[in-house]
Amino acid sequence: ETGVTQTPRHLVMGMTNKKSLKCEQHLGHNAMYWYKQSAKKPLELMFVYSLEERVENNSVPSRFSPECPNSSHLFLHLHTLQPEDSALYLCASSQTGGGTDTQYFGPGTRLTVL
Amino acid sequence: GDSVTQMEGPVTLSEEAFLTINCTYTATGYPSLFWYVQYPGEGLQLLLKATKADDKGSNKGFEATYRKETTSFHLEKGSVQVSDSAVYFCALSDGGNYQLIWGAGTKLIIKP
């Protein structure tokens, strides 16, 4: 595997389910990100981890819970979601998280909440 | 706060046409500017970037020049191909934290 991988690619869940999204980067980067992409809206940064420490948390509801066990893996744990949480969830990584860093994105998980 | 404004899409062109996608920004400092592209079913990937005024980023026939006087970073390509059909995102970074400020994206459709 190369680059940034995400699993699953598609997920359908009910509002009472608990599920997790997984992201893995094979680039040796130190920073990882979760974004939410909704139709016709700018990308929303949800969480940033640098060297496995959370450094940004942009007022995301507590029903989204991130976990970064090491610099290569990032999870997003989901529970009691709402239909408006349906979106494409993108994971990204960058070398250090600095302002001019290129971010490398995975293909995303298309989440549908029923 | 900082912001990025892109032209609304979709933009529909014929193959070999000239492309311009407008991007303007507001920022208090001297941001770095980026264009990312998202092909169908994929994540975003960096297309080009510029880190200071008058810099020109270029890649795959696309160009954009960092214009501080007009606070713009318009994306151009002289002759588009069907394979350029994608969503294009303009973004800026003020360098102070991990966050990029994103435009809403412009969908480009190229017809053969």
Which residue from A40, A55, A58 is facing B104, i.e. has the nearest CB?
A40
Q: What percent of chain B has pLDDT over 70?
A: 98
Q: Which residues in B60-74 are b (16+ Cβ under 10 Å) and which e?
A: eebbbbbeeeebbbb
Q: Alpha helices, DSSP H only, in A2-72?
A: none
pLDDT digit string, tens, across residues B74-93 = 999 999 999 999 999 999 98
Residue B2: pLDDT band (50, 70, 90) is confident
A103 contacts in chain B (CB < 8 Å): 44, 46, 100
A58 contacts in chain B (CB < 8 Å): 99
Q: Is the pLDDT of residue A17 over 90?
A: no
Q: Is the pLDDT of residue A56 over 80?
A: no
Mean pLDDT of B83-105: 88
A107 contacts in chain B (CB < 8 Å): 41-43
Q: Is A56 within 8 Å of B97 when comparing Cβ atoms?
A: yes
Q: Is A50 within 8 Å of B98 when comparing Cβ atoms?
A: yes
Mean pLDDT of A23-39: 94
The residue of chain A with its CA nearest to that of B102 is A42
The burial of A89, by beta-carbon neighbours within 10 Å (0-12 exposed, 13-18 middle, 19 or more buried), is given as buried
Q: How many CB pairs under 8 A join A and B?
A: 63
Q: Is the pLDDT of residue A10 over 80?
A: yes
In this structure, what token pair is assigned to residue B102?
């994103």
A43 contacts in chain B (CB < 8 Å): 44, 89, 100, 102
pLDDT digit string, tens, across residues A61-101 = 999 999 999 999 999 999 999 999 999 999 999 998 777 78
A96 φ, ψ (degrees, to nearest 5): -130, -15
Residue B98: pLDDT band (50, 70, 90) is confident
Mutate to test the interface with A, among B98, B99, B102 (most CBs of A within 10 A): B98
Q: How far apart are CA B8 and CA A20, in angstroms?
A: 34
